[in-house]
């Protein structure tokens, strides 16, 4: 372990590679600031990558939180424009089931209209025609402009744009100390997980965009941000059961949203308080699984016969209101804390609260504050300028890569938008599939390795969906590790360790729902990797 001082100065250091951190890095870089983004693991590993991937219309909040609803619908419309390759315009239905109060529907529609959300009451029969998977017992339906958004792609795309505007992005860099000089934050000390070295970086302003981990970062800076970790568990089903987002038309409750996302659909969430010690290792319990299934089947009865791929949980970074010393009342919406004003600590800003949907707005407000502190006068353009991948329409891209086999072509456009043409696909070998469930080719893996900051198989999964399909890595993990090793990404020993670690990560999500075909898949996976390949614990332990 070495320690070296780094002299390079930045205007702003952003801690946290979630959507908010990435969005802030993009905004700051576009406004001409010298930006450093630090992420302790990979991008989108926290709450960003562990939610529904719902492109909220805001309807869900319309009755209870009009302000959030308005923010949502505005950002919804912006994301459709600037992040079209991350968004699917599915629309959503709010279903009233016989056990729900139909009176709520009127209140709901009215609140939506107030917030500027198009909400259209649909005849139950017509609703079933539009969405055949919906519970046929429904007694009411309202159509709203909900959709699906892929958080990994969204984050990666923001990072890419930030980098193209000069930002430096360091993943696997964990902040271990916030450096202060008196009442001024001057920089951070980080631990580089890859080289095991500790380094310091300096900037005029440090932005804490650490999500739930921002609580600890604030502590490091000597200020207190009172966060309330709230666990939300979700289930991923093997394929798309529904075409439109399905919600329950009632006061928001557990397991009442079913979102179609890419090749799968997911139901969520539960909601329970968890202690800070557990936020790094969320386990989904049998009780949570049972609850999600029970409620999910009410939205779409066919979920009962649908294979579950995995269960996972994220932690919402809820913030206690500053004006409530008890910490019980949760702050609504976006929270930007200027610690100079709040705590007398200069050069430190915390951005938290909010939701994936409002990441851009959060970034805008944060950047506004940073600019003000730095005395920079530049306007925000992130609401207007499309992200990389969303600059050309799909038909144009399709024409450019028409020689690829159809499913591969469709999949790579869906994942990379107009960047799909940059995938290496010149030879038949590069067109060979690594991941057959998700149609990921050798060329796409190579592209991700070379251009998308991939350090290991889990990173690769976030960029390409390798291992996210039905087989959960059984067929493709080994191939991907082989390609990474062959491409010189790591040595064969590291490749085996990484493979073991990837399989363990996949198992973590399969274990809570390991019965039926998922258990068959797991057993098969054990045979292939442990018996045939001889992969074992020692590889894992040596990590």
Partner 1 sequence: MKFDTIIIGGGLSGLVCGIRLVKAGRRCVIVSAGQSALHFSSGSFDLLNALPDGSPVECPLEALGQLALQAPEHPYVKLGVERMKALLAEVPAFFAGAGVAVEGQGVRNHYRMTPLGAWHPTWLTLKDFFCCGSPEGKLPWRKAAIFNIAGFLDFYAEFIAGDLKKRGVECSVHLFNMDALEHLRKNPSEMRSANIARVFEKQENLERLGEILRDEAGDAEVVLLPAVFGLERADALACLRRVANRKVMLLPTLPPSVPGIRTQLQLKKYFQDCGGVYMLGDTVMKAEVEDGHVVRVYSYNHGNIPFVADDVVLATGSFFSQGLIAEPGRVYEPVFGLDVKYPEEREQWFDLNFFNRQAYQSFGVETDGGFRGMRGGKVLDNLYVAGAVLGGFNAVKEGCGGGVSILTALAVAQQIMDKRKIG
Partner 2 sequence: MNLQQHNISDNNFEQCIKCTVCTVYCPVAAVNPDFPGPKQAGPDGERLRLKRPDFYDEALKYCINCKRCEVACPSNVRIGDIIQSARIRYAKKKPKVRDILLANTDFVGTLSTPFAPVVNVALGLKPVKAAMDAVLKIDHRRMFPKYAFGTFEGWYKKQASRQAAFSKQVAYFHGCYVNYNNPQLGKDLVKVMNAAGYGVQLLEKEQCCGVALISNGLINQAKKQAQTNMASIRQAVLERKMPVIATSSTCTFTIRDEYPHLLQLENGDVREQVELATRFLYRLLAENKTKLRFRTDKKLKVAYHTPCHMEKLGWSYYTIELLKMIPGVEVQVLDSQCCGIAGTYGFKKENYEVSQQIGSRLFRQIEASGVDFVVSDCETCKWQIEMSTSKKCEHPISVLARMLED
Site for partner 1 in 258-287 (CB under 8 A): 283, 285-286
Distances (CA, A) of 300 to 23, 144, 286, 311, 405: 35, 18, 21, 18, 33
411 binds, among partner 1, partner 2, none (CB under 5 to 8 A by kind): partner 2
Candidates 117, 334, 369, 478; binder of partner 1 (CB under 8 A) is 478
Per CB under 8 A, does 106 bind partner 1?
no
Binding partner at 263 among partner 1, partner 2, none, C-beta below 5 to 8 Å by kind: partner 2
- Residues with Cβ within 8 Å of 276's Cβ and at least 6 positions away in sequence, in order, are 215, 216, 229
Report if residue 494 touches partner 1, rule: CB under 8 A.
no
To partner 1, the closest distance from the beta carbon of 486 in angstroms equals 6
Q: Report yes or no: 142 and 108 within 8 Å, Cβ to Cβ.
A: yes
Query: Which of residues 235 and 363 has its CB atom nearest to partner 2 in the complex?
Result: 235
Near partner 1 in 307-336, by CB under 8 A? none
25 binds partner 1 (CB under 8 A): no
Least distance between partner 1 and beta carbon 448 (Å): 16
Task: Name the minimum Å distance from CB 301 to partner 2.
Answer: 11
Applying CB under 8 A, which of residues 166, 325, 327, 405 lies at the interface with partner 1? Answer: 405
Options 56-64, 218-226, 413-421, 525-533: segment touching partner 1 (CB under 8 A) = 525-533
Binding site for partner 2 (CB under 8 A): 238-240, 260, 262-263, 290, 293-294, 302, 304-307, 405-407, 410-411, 436-437, 439, 469-471, 474-475, 515-517, 520-521, 524
Structure token pair of residue 469: 């399909």
> How many Å apart are CA 193 and CA 511, to the nearest integer?
28
CA distances for 259 relative to 32, 190, 235, angstroms: 37, 37, 11
Rule CB under 8 A: is residue 532 a binding residue for partner 1? yes
204: exposed, middle or buried (Cβ count in 10 Å: 0-12, 13-18, 19+) = buried
500 counts as binding partner 1 under rule CB under 8 A = yes
- The reply on whether position 487 binds partner 1 by CB under 8 A is no
d(CA 17, CA 34): 17
Q: At what angle do helices 457-464 and 477-486 cross, to 10 degrees?
A: 110
Binding partner at 37 among partner 1, partner 2, none, C-beta below 5 to 8 Å by kind: none
Q: How would DSSP label each residue in 431-495?
A: HSEEETTTTEEHHHHHHHHHHS---SHHHHHHHH-TT-STTTTTTTHHHHHHHHHHTTSS-HHHH
What are the start-end ranges of the E strands in 1-146? 3-15, 35-38, 54-55, 87-88, 92-96, 120-122, 140-144
Question: Residue 315's CB: how many other CB atoms inside 10 A?
Answer: 23
Contact set with partner 1 (CB under 8 A): 283, 285-286, 290, 405, 408, 428-429, 431-434, 436, 441-442, 475, 478-479, 482-483, 485-486, 491-493, 495-496, 499-500, 503-504, 506-508, 511, 514-516, 519-520, 522-528, 530-537, 540
């Amino acid at each position: 372990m070495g320690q070296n001082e780094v002299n390079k100065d930045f205007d702003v250091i952003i801690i946290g590679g979630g959507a908010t951190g990435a969005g802030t890095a993009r905004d700051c870089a576009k406004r001409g600031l010298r930006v450093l983004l630090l992420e302790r693991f990979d991008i989108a590993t926290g709450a960003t990558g562990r939610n529904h991937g719902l492109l909220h219309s805001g309807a869900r909040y319309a009755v209870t939180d009009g302000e959030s609803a308005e923010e949502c619908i505005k950002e919804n419309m912006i994301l459709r424009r600037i992040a079209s390759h991350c968004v699917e315009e599915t629309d959503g239905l709010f279903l009233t089931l016989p056990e729900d109060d139909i009176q709520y529907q009127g209140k709901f529609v009215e609140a939506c209209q107030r917030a500027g959300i198009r909400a259209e009451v649909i005849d139950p029969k017509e609703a079933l025609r539009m969405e055949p998977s919906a519970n046929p017992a429904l007694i009411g339906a309202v159509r709203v402009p909900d959709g699906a958004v892929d958080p990994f792609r969204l984050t990666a795309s923001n990072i890419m744009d930030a980098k193209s505007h000069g930002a430096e992005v360091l993943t696997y860099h964990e902040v271990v100390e916030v450096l202060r000089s008196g009442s001024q934050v001057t920089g951070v000390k980080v631990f580089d997980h890859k080289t095991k070295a500790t380094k310091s970086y300096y900037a005029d302003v440090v932005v804490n965009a650490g999500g739930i981990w921002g609580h600890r970062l604030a502590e490091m800076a000597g200020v207190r941000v009172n966060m309330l970790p709230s666990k939300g568990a979700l289930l991923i089903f093997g394929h798309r059961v529904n075409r439109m987002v399905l919600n329950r038309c009632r006061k928001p409750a557990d397991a009442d949203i079913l979102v179609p996302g890419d090749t799968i659909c997911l139901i969520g969430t539960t909601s329970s308080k968890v202690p800070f010690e557990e936020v790094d290792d969320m386990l989904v319990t049998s009780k949570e699984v049972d609850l999600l299934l029970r409620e999910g089947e009410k939205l779409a009865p066919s979920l009962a016969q649908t294979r579950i791929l995995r269960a996972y949980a994220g932690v919402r970074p809820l913030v206690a209101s500053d004006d409530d010393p008890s910490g019980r009342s949760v702050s609504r919406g976006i929270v930007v804390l200027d610690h100079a004003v709040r705590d007398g600590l200069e050069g430190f800003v915390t951005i938290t609260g909010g939701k994936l949907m409002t990441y851009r707005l959060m970034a805008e407000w944060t950047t506004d504050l940073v600019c003000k502190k730095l005395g920079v006068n530049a306007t925000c353009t992130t609401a207007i300028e499309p992200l990389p991948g969303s600059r050309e329409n799909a038909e144009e891209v399709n024409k450019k890569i028409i020689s690829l086999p159809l499913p591969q072509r469709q999949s790579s456009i869906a994942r990379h938008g107009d960047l799909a043409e940059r995938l290496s696909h010149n030879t038949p070998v590069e067109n060979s599939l690594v991941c057959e469930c998700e149609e990921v080719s050798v060329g796409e893996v190579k592209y991700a390795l070379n251009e998308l900051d991939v350090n290991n198989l889990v990173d690769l999964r976030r960029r390409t969906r390798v291992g996210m399909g039905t087989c959960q890595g059984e067929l493709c993990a080994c191939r991907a590790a082989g390609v990474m090793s062959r491409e010189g990404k790591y040595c064969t020993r590291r490749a085996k360790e990484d493979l073991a670690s990837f399989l363990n990560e996949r198992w973590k999500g399969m274990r809570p729902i390991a019965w039926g075909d998922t258990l068959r898949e797991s057993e098969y996976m054990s045979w292939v990797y442990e018996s045939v390949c001889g992969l074992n614990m020692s590889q894992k332990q040596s990590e």
